[in-house]
Amino acid sequence: MSVFSYKKKFSIFLTWVLFILITTLLASCGSKSFYKYNGPQVTRIDVFKSKRILIVYHNDKVIKKYPIDLGFDPKGPKRIEGDGKTPEGKYIINVHNPNSAFYLSLGVSYPNTKDRAYAKLLGKPPGGEIFIHGQPNNERKKKGSDWTAGCIALKNRHIKQLYSMVENGTQIYIHP
């Protein structure tokens, strides 16, 4: 066998080793969500602010219930940016964010048309960036109750499940 043949075989071997190494590294850099959900499709989420509960449904059948925390001034609907209130109304889940400042987050499509119109009447911006999320990253101690700026907060183990269960486009109804 010639030296060229050995170099070619060695080059092919190194290519495979690099491929396996890169594939392994990329797989380890994935989402924080390792929970695999194999249940029925989530068709709706209801949030009951006064009861501090989030309920996940497949059609009319309850799949899961989670305790929640809300904005720092939770009574009443969100009207303007910075009011500390959690919105009320019909929205959709519009984004999955594995890299948020909180442990996983699901975007809520606030503000809707009605929210924008009301804020405009007040001459104020409606705000935005409303999410369902876990606890802040890099904080060991759990936050107290109703600590967000208007988001819906869950325990990390609960958002990990919910994040895997819910698809973008899922309807979410936030009730008083």
Q: Given the DSSP bridges, would you call strands 44-48 and 171-175 parallel, antiparallel or unpaired?
A: parallel
Classified as helix, coil or strand, 152 is: strand
Whether residue 32 is predicted with pLDDT greater than 90 in this model: the reply is no
Alpha carbon distance 78, 80 (integer Å): 6
Q: What does the pLDDT look like over 11-29, one tens digit per residue?
A: 665 555 455 544 444 444 4
Predicted confidence at residue 143, as pLDDT, reads 76
Q: Which residue has the higher pLDDT, 33 or 84?
A: 84
Predicted confidence at residue 21, as pLDDT, reads 44
Rounded alpha-carbon distances, angstroms, from residue 21 to 8, 28, 30 = 20, 11, 15
Ordered by start, the domain boundaries in the chain are: 1-30, 44-175
Q: Is the dihedral of CA 42, 135, 105, 25 positive or negative?
A: negative
For the segment 120-143, the average pLDDT, to the nearest whole number, is 90
| Residue 49 pLDDT class (50, 70, 90 cuts) | very high
Global pTM value:
0.78
- Fold adopted by 44-175: L,D-transpeptidase catalytic domain-like (2.40.440)
Mean pLDDT of the chain: 86
